[in-house]
Structure 1
Amino acid sequence: MFKDSLIELDRTSVLRVTADTMPAMIAYIEADRSIGFLNEEFARRFSVTAEDVAHVSGRNLDQLFPQKTFPGAGDELQTALSGEEVRFAFQLPDAASPRDFEGYFRPHRANSGRILGVVALFTDVTDRKEIDQKLRHQAHDLQRSNAELEQFAYVASHDLKAPLRGIENLASWIEEDLGDKLEGDTRTNMDLLKSRVRRLESLLSDLLAYSRAGRDDNVIREVDTRALVSDLAALISPPEGFRIEADASLPTLVTAQAALTQTLQNLIGNAVKHHPDPAHGLIQVKAASVGNMYEFTVSDNGAGIPEQFRERVFGMFQTLKPRDEVEGSGMGLAIVRKLVERQSGQVWLSENEARGLTVHFTWPAISKESRA
C-alpha cells in the first residue's frame, strides 16, 4: 500500500513538472468546484502568486479566481461538470493588446461513470490567428494575381491574334499582286515574314494554354491510359514508319482526365516533332507502381538532350534548336511540369542506354479530388 502511494506520488510529480513546462494554462477542477491543480502558466496570466499556484489544492475556484476573471467559470464549466466536452473562445488583457485564447473543458469520469472533475486547457491562439489572417490575405492576393495573369494571357492570345491575322492576309495579298514578279530575295523574305507571323501566333496560343493548364483538374474520370496512348498516337498522326507503343503495364486510373491527356500528348508530340529520323522513330510509353503513385516513362530513340540542358528545357519559351529549324514555342515541357506538379508529382529526364531520351513523371494512383 505504501509502495503504491509512492508510485502514485511520483506519477503526480512527473505530471506536474510536465504541465509546468507547457505554454498553455492547464487546470483540474474538482466536481465541487474546488481546485485540484493549476500549472505555473496561471501565475503569469492571472493575478495569482507563484505560492498560491503551488498551494491551491482544495481551495474553491470562485474564492481564488472571481468568476468574472476565470474563463468559462459559468455556463461552460457547469456544462462540463454535467458530462459534456466544451470548447469556447475568450480574450485576456495584455500590456500591448488583448490576447485571443481557446478554452477546452473535458470531463473526468470514474469507472462507474460518475463525474470526478474537469480538465481545463487554455491555449493562446493570437499568433496563430494572425498567421491565418495573413495567409488568407496572401491567398486572396495570389488569386487576384492569377486572375490578372489569365486575363493578360487571354488578351495576348485573343486580341493580338487579330492584327497578326491581318498581317498574314496582307502578305498573301501582296503575293497575289506581285504574282510572277515575286522571286529571289523577295520571295525568301515574304516566306520568312509569314513564318514569323505563324510562330508568334503559336507562341500566344501556347501562352494561353500554359495559363489554363490544370483548370480542369476537378473533372475526375476513369482513364484507361493504355487506350489513351493509342488514341493520342492516332490523333498526333506521326510520319510513316514512326511507331508509338503503349505498354501493357499502363494502368487504369480514376484521375483528372484532361490534365493527364494533355501531359501525355505534349510528351509524345514533342518526341515526334524533334526526332531526327522520323521514318525509324520509336516511342514507348510504360508505367510502374511506386507507393501511392505511378511512374510513367515516355522513351524515344531520338537525338536526346545533353545533360546540362535537361533542366533548362522545362522553362518557358526554351528550345535547344533555332526556331527556323524546328517550329515550336518552347512551352510544351513547361506545361507538362505545371500539370504534373499540380497533381503532386515530379517530372525529370534521363538518357536511354542505347540512344534517345526518357521523360519520367509521377502521377497519383488516386487523384486528390477522388480521395476527397
Structure 2
Amino acid sequence: MPETRTPPPARTDARRASRLGRVMLDLRLRLVALVLLSFGPPAALLITSELQQREHELGNARRELTRAAAVAGAEFDARLRSAQLLLAGLANVAAIRSAQEPRCSALLGELFARGAGLGGLFVLDRDGRTVCSATPGPQGLSFADRDYFKETVARRAPTIGVPLLARPHGRALLGLGHPLLGDAGEVRGVLVTSLDLAAFAEQLAALDPVAGAAVTLIDARGEILFRYPDAERWLGQRLPDAVLVRAALASTRGTAVEARGLDAVDRVYALAPLGAETGQVLRLALGVARSDIDGPVNEIVRRDLAAITLLAVLTLAAALLIAQRSVHAPAQRVLEVAHGERERVQAELALREERMQLQAAALSAAANGIVITDRDGTIRWVNAAFSRLTGYSADEAIGRNPRILKSGQHDAAFYAGLYRTVLCGEVWRGEMVNRRKDGSRYTEDQTITPVRSDSGEITHFIAIKQDVSERKTLQQQRERLAAIVEASPCFVATADAAGTVRYYNAAARRMLGLADDADPAQVRIADTHPAWAAERVLGEGIPAAVRDGIWTGETAFLARDGREFPVWQAILAHKAANGGVEFMSTIALDLSSIKQAESQLRNLNAELEQRVAQRTRQIETTNQELESFSYSVSHDLRAPLRAVDGYARMLEEDYAAALDQEARRLIAVVRAESGRMSAMIDDLLTFSRTGHGLIANGAVDMMVAAREAIAQTSPAYPAACVVLEDLPDAPGDRMLLRQVWVNLIGNALKYSSKAAAPRIEIGGRTDGAENRYWVRDNGAGFDPRYADQLFGVFRRLHGETEFPGTGVGLAIVRRVVTRHGGRVWAEGKPGAGACFGFALPRGH
C-alpha cells in the first residue's frame, strides 16, 4: 500500500506564494471586470467558502470531541486502576485485614478524605455486613445482594460490579471489591468501594472540553447514568432504541458520529468506551449541536455579502490606486514574513529532531542499563547495557514485566514500598539483588523515575541500573581486611605521604596508651619513640622504605607512661603507578616477652654450661675410677686365674701318669672353668667400657663394619652361608657399632651351626627418621615369651654345653645402640630361627 505523505512546509509555502502572485496579477488586469461582475463571482466564492468552512469547522469539532473523549476515557481508566491499587494496598494493612476498630475506620476515613471520586470505603464480613467504614453510619449495613460482593467471595479475587443508581440521591456508582484473605487463603472479609460515575461526568462537564458540549453516560443496558444538561430529566431512563444509545452501544472503540440526541437535537458526537477492564463497558458521548458549529459560519457569510456589496461600489472608483498601494505591497510583505517564518520553523524542527536523535543515541550507548516501562509495568524499551547486564535481549525483554529479574532475595514489603514511592510520583533509589537469565545473581544500584504526561498523569517509568556486585565484593573484602587489621595483636599504623598519622589499630592504641577516640593526626611519629629509635626510624627506616619499598629492623616505642618497650618494626611505602608515595604503613611486634625470654635463656644456658662442665668433671672422675677398677679387675682377678690354670696344666702335664681318669677329668674341668671365667672377665670389661666414655660421632659405613664382623666371626663356621644386603650408612661411633655387628653375627653363626644348611641374612633400610638393621638365621630360635630377657647381662636361654657363651654379648649390643639413641628387638620361634635387629636415628 503506498504511503501517504504530508507535503513539507517549504513546498506548501512555495505553492501559496505562487498562487498569491497569480491572484495579484489577475487583480491588476481584471479589476474593472471584477467590480462590474462583483455580485456574481463573490456570491459563488462565498458559497464555496461557506461549504469549505463548514467542513473545516465540522472536522475541528470531530477532532476536539474525539480528543476530549479519549482523554476522558484515559482519566476514567486511571481512576479505576487507582481505586483497584488502593484496595490492594489496604488489603495488606493488618488493622484493615483484621477489622480492628477504631483503627480500621480511622484509616479508611483518612484515605477516603484524600480519594476524590470514591463513593465510600467499607470492610465487610463474609456475610456482607459492614464492620468498619470510612464515613460514620449504622454498623451492620448489608452489601450481601451486591453482585461484586458475591463474585469477590466466590472467586477470592478482585472484582468490578455492574453500574447502578444509588438511592436516595440517585447517583450512578460502579462498585469494586477486594478479598481479605486469611493465612490459609480463606476469605475473611471483603474491602469494597465505588466510583461515583456522576461525579466523574460532572467534573468532565465542568471542564467544558468543547464549548456547549452535551455529556451523556450510558451503561451496557442502555440506561442513562448521567446527562448534561437536564440531568434530572434523563437520569435512570433506559432508552435502548434511541438513536444516540444505539450508536453508542454499537461502538466498540472511540469514534465520531452524527446522530440525533435524546432531546431530538442533531449533534456531532464523539463516542468512547470507559472501563473496558470491568466487563461492563460504559459509553461516554460528547456532542455539539450542528447549529452551534454552523452558526458562526452563517454569520460570517452574511457579513461578507454586505461587505462585498459595499466594496464593489468603492472599488470601482479607486481600483488602480487601491491595487497598487493597498494590495500589492502588503501582499509582498506578507510573503516575506511567511518565508522568514517558514525558515524559522524549519530550523526549530531540525534542532528538535537532532536533540531527539542525540537523546536516543545517548540512552542506547549509556554504560548503565536503562529500562522504560509503562504504568502497568510492561517493558517498552531497553538499551544494550541492560542486555549485557541481565542476559535478556531486547526482543526477549520488551513486552514482559521486570519481575523476570526477581531473585527471591527481597520480600513483598520491599517491593510494596518501591511501588508506593514511584506511584506517588517520587524517585526511588536503592540497591537490590536480581537474577540474570542464566540464573546467576548480581547486585545493582537502581534509580526509578516516574514520567508524567502534559496533563500530569504518570504514564511511564524509567529505571537506570548499575551492576555493583564487584564493588560490593570489594567493599566486603575491605571490611574484612579492616577487621583483621583492627583485631591484630601487632602494632599497625598508617600515615600519609607528608608523615601525618591517619590510623592506629587497637593494639597500637593499647601499646601507646592512647584512648580509642584519640585523633591519630595529633600524635607525632617522633613522640612515639625514644630518642635513639626515633632517630633510626626517621633517619634510616622511612628513607629506606621510600627508596626500596620496605625497611625492617629493631626499634622501640614509648608509651604514654614513659615506659620504653622494644619492637621489631617493618615500614612500608605504598606507591602509586607514577612511583610517588601515596601513604606509609608500619607493622611492629612487641619484643618485650621475647627479649625477656632471651635473657632467661642466656642465664639458663650459662647455668647449664656450668652444670655440664661440673657433670663432665664428675664423669671424667668416674671414668678414671672405672678405668682403675677395670685395671684392678684385670690384674687382680686374672692373676689368680692364671695361677689356677697354670698349676692345673702342670698337674695335667707332669703328673698325668700318677692321676687316674677321674682326676684328669677334674683337672680338665678346672682349666675349662678358668678359661670361661677369663672370658667372662673380658666380656664384663668390654661391657663396662661401652657404658662410659665419649662416643665419636661420625658417618659410619655399615657395609664395611658388617664385612669386617663377618671376616672376624665366620672362619669358625665354614658351613654357614652368609648373605649381606645393602646397608644404609649411620651416624655414630665406628668401633662401637662394629662391636654390635660382631656380637649379632657371631650369635647367629653360633646358634645356626647345628642346622643342616646354616644361613645368615644381614639387611637394612631407611624407614622415616631412622635406619633399621637386622640379622636373621635359621638356627635354634627361642621362645618369644622371653625375648625381652635376651638383652640382659648373663641372660641365656640355652645351656653352656649346647651353645657356649657368657651371656654378655646381647647386653653389649643394647647398651651401644641405646647410647646412640636407638632401640633393639628380637623375634623368633623354637627350632625356626631368630631375627635380631636394631634401629638408629638418621640424625643422631
| TM-score when normalising by structure 2 | 0.34
1:235 aligns with 2:703: no
Q: Which has the larger radius of gyration?
A: 2
Displacement, 1:163? 1.6
Displacement, 1:358? 0.8
Find the counterpart in structure 2 of residue 103 from structure 1: 567
1:303 aligns with 2:780: yes
Report the residue type matching 1:215 in the other structure.
Answer: I
Which whole-Å CA distance do the structure 2 matches of 1:163 and 1:361 have between them?
Answer: 36
1:52 aligns with 2:518: no
Partner of residue 209 from structure 1, selected from 683, 687, 690: 690
Aligned ranges for residues 132-281 of structure 1 at < 5 Å? 133-134=603-604, 136-137=608-609, 139-140=612-613, 143-144=616-617, 146-172=619-645, 174-175=647-648, 180=655, 183=663, 187=667, 188=669, 192=673, 195-212=676-693, 215-218=695-698, 220=699, 223=701, 225=703, 229-247=706-724, 249-251=725-727, 253=729, 256=732, 257-258=734-735, 260-275=737-752, 277=754, 280-281=757-758
Q: Percent same amino acid among aligned pairs? A: 18
Which whole-Å CA distance do the structure 2 matches of 1:252 and 1:210 have between them?
Answer: 25
Find the counterpart in structure 2 of residue 9 from structure 1: 479
Extract unaligned runs of 5+ from structure 2.
Answer: 1-470, 546-550
Displacement, 1:269? 1.6
Which whole-Å CA distance do the structure 1 matches of 2:574 and 2:813 have between them?
Answer: 60
Report the residue type matching 1:85 in the other structure.
Answer: T
Report the residue type matching 2:553 in the other structure.
Answer: V
Classify 1:41/1:109 alpha carbon distance in 2 versus 1 (closer, same or farther; 3 Å).
Answer: closer
Classify 1:172/1:312 alpha carbon distance in 2 versus 1 (closer, same or farther; 3 Å).
Answer: closer
Matched residue SS, 1:305: coil
Classify 1:105/1:361 alpha carbon distance in 2 versus 1 (closer, same or farther; 3 Å).
Answer: same
Displacement, 1:319? 3.9
Q: Which stretch of the first structure deviates more once superposed, 317-326 or 276-285?
A: 317-326
Which whole-Å CA distance do the structure 1 matches of 2:604 and 2:648 have between them?
Answer: 60
Displacement, 1:243? 1.3
* Per-residue CA distance 1:270-310 (angstroms, 9 max, x = gap): 22344572775321112345346553321012222322322
Classify 1:315/1:116 alpha carbon distance in 2 versus 1 (closer, same or farther; 3 Å).
Answer: farther
Which whole-Å CA distance do the structure 2 matches of 1:200 and 1:284 have between them?
Answer: 31
Which whole-Å CA distance do the structure 2 matches of 1:245 and 1:233 have between them?
Answer: 8
Find the counterpart in structure 2 of residue 80 from structure 1: 541
> Is the 1:87–1:104 contact (alpha carbons within 8 Å) kept by the matching residues of 2?
yes
> Is the 2:796–2:807 contact (alpha carbons within 8 Å) kept by the matching residues of 1?
yes
> Is the 1:340–1:347 contact (alpha carbons within 8 Å) kept by the matching residues of 2?
yes
Which whole-Å CA distance do the structure 2 matches of 1:326 and 1:153 have between them?
Answer: 31
Which whole-Å CA distance do the structure 1 matches of 2:601 and 2:804 have between them?
Answer: 48
Matched residue SS, 1:85: strand
Which whole-Å CA distance do the structure 1 matches of 2:666 and 2:837 have between them?
Answer: 46
Partner of residue 813 from structure 2, selected from 336, 339, 344: 336
Classify 1:255/1:159 alpha carbon distance in 2 versus 1 (closer, same or farther; 3 Å).
Answer: same
> Is the 2:687–2:808 contact (alpha carbons within 8 Å) kept by the matching residues of 1?
yes
* Per-residue CA distance 1:94-124 (angstroms, 9 max, x = gap): xxxxxx9863222324255968243211231
Find the counterpart in structure 1 of residue 530 from structure 2: 67
1:118 aligns with 2:118: no
Which whole-Å CA distance do the structure 1 matches of 2:649 and 2:572 have between them?
Answer: 93
> Is the 1:239–1:279 contact (alpha carbons within 8 Å) kept by the matching residues of 2?
no
> Is the 2:683–2:808 contact (alpha carbons within 8 Å) kept by the matching residues of 1?
no
Which whole-Å CA distance do the structure 2 matches of 1:88 and 1:147 have between them?
Answer: 47
Classify 1:30/1:10 alpha carbon distance in 2 versus 1 (closer, same or farther; 3 Å).
Answer: closer
| Bigger relative CO (Cα 8 Å, ≥ 6 apart) | 1
Classify 1:286/1:54 alpha carbon distance in 2 versus 1 (closer, same or farther; 3 Å).
Answer: farther
Displacement, 1:30? 4.6
| TM-score when normalising by structure 1 | 0.69
Which whole-Å CA distance do the structure 1 matches of 2:535 and 2:512 have between them?
Answer: 19
Which whole-Å CA distance do the structure 1 matches of 2:686 and 2:702 have between them?
Answer: 29
Report the residue type matching 2:627 in the other structure.
Answer: Y
Classify 1:288/1:210 alpha carbon distance in 2 versus 1 (closer, same or farther; 3 Å).
Answer: same
Report the residue type matching 2:485 in the other structure.
Answer: L
Report the residue type matching 1:120 in the other structure.
Answer: A
Classify 1:154/1:362 alpha carbon distance in 2 versus 1 (closer, same or farther; 3 Å).
Answer: same
Which whole-Å CA distance do the structure 1 matches of 2:604 and 2:817 have between them?
Answer: 28
> Is the 2:541–2:571 contact (alpha carbons within 8 Å) kept by the matching residues of 1?
yes
Which whole-Å CA distance do the structure 2 matches of 1:266 and 1:42 have between them?
Answer: 70
